[in-house]
């Protein structure tokens, strides 16, 4: 009798652990990407220093290197926007930008990585890593 009770308890615990593992997997699967259009904006003024040029160049190269197929299809874009030009006013107002900014946008989600971009302006590997984090962030929010 004790063996039957012990065996029943062991089977019950074993089945319980399978159910718990199945539920944990299900939660991970629900975190899917919905929007796919990602725009990386670099807002700047006409007069720029070497660091400003480095931020733009390294960011543009990083997006092209990280997501070559998506850049080719137009899903991911990099846009340099000169704030001194009249044509850029609408984009700047829409995104609430008034100065130099490196911004990753996907729908209504925005991630500003300006400070990190300027900190790593002359380190393309770190800018690439920061841009990758920002893109993943706007896609999973």
Quote the CA–CA distance of 43 and 36 in Å, as a whole number: 22
| pLDDT on residue 141 | 67
| pLDDT on residue 29 | 47
Quote the CA–CA distance of 58 and 116 in Å, as a whole number: 13
Q: What is the pTM of this model?
A: 0.72
**DSSP letter string over 110-121?**
EEE-HHHHHHTT
| pLDDT on residue 138 | 93
What does the longest C-alpha to C-alpha distance in the chain come to? Answer: 88
Whether 3 shows a pLDDT value over 80: the answer reads no
pLDDT band per the 50, 70, 90 thresholds, residue 59:
very high
E strand intervals along 26-120: 38-44, 76-82, 101-106, 109-112
Whether 62 shows a pLDDT value over 90: the answer reads yes
Asked if 63 and 101 count as a contact pair (C-beta separation under 8 A), the reply is no
Quote the CA–CA distance of 104 and 86 in Å, as a whole number: 22
Asked if 94 and 56 count as a contact pair (C-beta separation under 8 A), the reply is no
| pLDDT on residue 36 | 79
| pLDDT on residue 30 | 46
Residue 137 structure tokens: 């962030």
Asked if 100 and 45 count as a contact pair (C-beta separation under 8 A), the reply is yes
Mean confidence (pLDDT) of the chain = 85
| pLDDT on residue 33 | 46
Q: What percent of the chain has pLDDT over 90?
A: 67
Rounded mean pLDDT of 116-122? 93
Asked if 97 and 103 count as a contact pair (C-beta separation under 8 A), the reply is yes
Rounded mean pLDDT of 12-32? 57
pLDDT band per the 50, 70, 90 thresholds, residue 4:
confident
Quote the CA–CA distance of 82 and 47 in Å, as a whole number: 10
Whether 94 shows a pLDDT value over 70: the answer reads yes
Which candidate, 134, 125, 104, 136, places its Cα nearest to that of 61?
A: 125
Whether 10 shows a pLDDT value over 90: the answer reads no
């Amino acid at each position: 009798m004790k063996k039957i009770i012990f065996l029943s308890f062991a089977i019950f615990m074993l089945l319980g652990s399978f159910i718990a593992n199945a539920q944990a997997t299900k939660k991970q699967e629900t975190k899917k990407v919905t929007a796919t259009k990602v725009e990386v904006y670099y807002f700047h003024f006409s007069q720029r220093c070497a660091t400003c040029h480095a931020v733009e160049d390294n960011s543009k190269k990083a997006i092209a290197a990280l997501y070559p197929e998506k850049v080719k299809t137009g899903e991911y874009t990099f846009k340099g926007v000169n704030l001194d030009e009249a044509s850029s006013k609408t984009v700047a107002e829409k995104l609430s930008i008034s100065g130099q900014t490196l911004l990753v946008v996907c729908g209504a989600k925005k991630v500003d990585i300006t400070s990190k971009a300027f900190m790593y302006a002359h380190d393309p590997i770190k800018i690439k890593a920061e841009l990758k984090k920002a893109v993943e962030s706007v896609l999973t929010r």
